[in-house]
């Protein structure tokens, strides 16, 4: 029989995953170490309900310390005891609330490609339907195109007569 030796657990190793707290929903999401922040934001935003503010980026926060922001291509890292990874939403920026009387800053959700390399629309984003105004504009464009073609054809048909008139007057 083989002897069994006690396995020592090294407590200094970081866990193989990172917890990111979504401020919109209050839920924790776990990501593997080495996950890019853009993918994590995309996945968290897909899980949000309709009407919840979308996450813009992820930052590491600790009380009494300056927050560390992760860009879309940055790899998520746990900074140790006391540091918390959380999402940042549009609501978190000061001066964006309408009731304060300050003009809000315009923020756009970054165009983050998902792990499969394609950009997928978020839940709740609907495609606009084809309206009667849209169809009317297309019909008007075709009519205008045919009218302009007729005008140019008439001009080209009368061009030889115009050239003869100019030559005879000289």
* Reported confidence tier of residue 136, pLDDT bands at 50, 70, 90: very high
| pTM summary value | 0.47
Q: What DSSP string describes 43-108? A: HHHHHSPTTSPPEEEEEEE-TTS--EEE-TTSBP----TT-EEEEEEGGGSTT--GGGTPPPPP--
> Given this model, what pLDDT does residue 143 score?
97
**Using CB atoms within 10 A of its CB, is residue 12 exposed (0-12), middle (13-18) or buried (19+)?**
exposed
Residue 126 pLDDT > 70: no
24 versus 130: the higher-pLDDT residue is 130
Task: From 20, 16, 13, 54, select the one nearest 37 (Cα to Cα).
Answer: 20
Q: Which of 2-6, 114-118, 131-135 has the highest mean pLDDT?
A: 131-135
Confidence of residue 46 (pLDDT cuts 50, 70, 90): confident
pLDDT of 73-97, one tens digit each? 888 888 778 888 888 887 776 554 4
pLDDT at residue number 63: 87
Give every CB contact of residue 30 below 8 A, 6+ residues apart in sequence: 17, 18, 19, 20
Q: Tokens at residue 70, please? A: 């992760």
Q: Regarding predicted confidence, which is higher, 98 or 53?
A: 53
Q: Determine the average pLDDT of the residues in 59-78.
A: 86
Cα dihedral: 128, 119, 43, 76 (round 10): -140
**pLDDT value at residue 140:** 97
- pLDDT category, 154, cuts 50, 70, 90? very high
């Amino acid at each position: 029989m083989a002897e069994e030796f006690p396995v020592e657990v090294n407590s200094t190793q970081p866990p193989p995953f990172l917890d990111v707290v979504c401020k919109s929903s209050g839920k924790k999401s776990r990501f593997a170490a080495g996950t890019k922040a853009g993918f994590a934001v995309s996945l968290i935003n897909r899980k949000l309900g309709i009407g919840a503010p979308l996450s813009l980026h992820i930052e590491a926060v600790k009380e009494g310390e300056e927050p560390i922001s992760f860009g879309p291509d940055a790899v998520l890292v746990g900074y140790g005891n006391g540091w918390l990874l959380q999402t940042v939403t549009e609501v978190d920026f000061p001066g964006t609330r309408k009731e304060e009387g300050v003009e809000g800053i315009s923020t756009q959700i970054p165009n983050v490609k998902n792990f499969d390399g394609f950009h997928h629309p978020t839940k709740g984003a609907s495609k606009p339907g084809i309206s009667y105004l849209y169809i009317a504009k297309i019909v008007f464009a075709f009519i205008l195109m045919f009218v302009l073609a007729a005008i140019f054809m008439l001009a080209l048909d009368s061009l030889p007569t115009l050239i003869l008139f100019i030559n005879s007057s000289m």
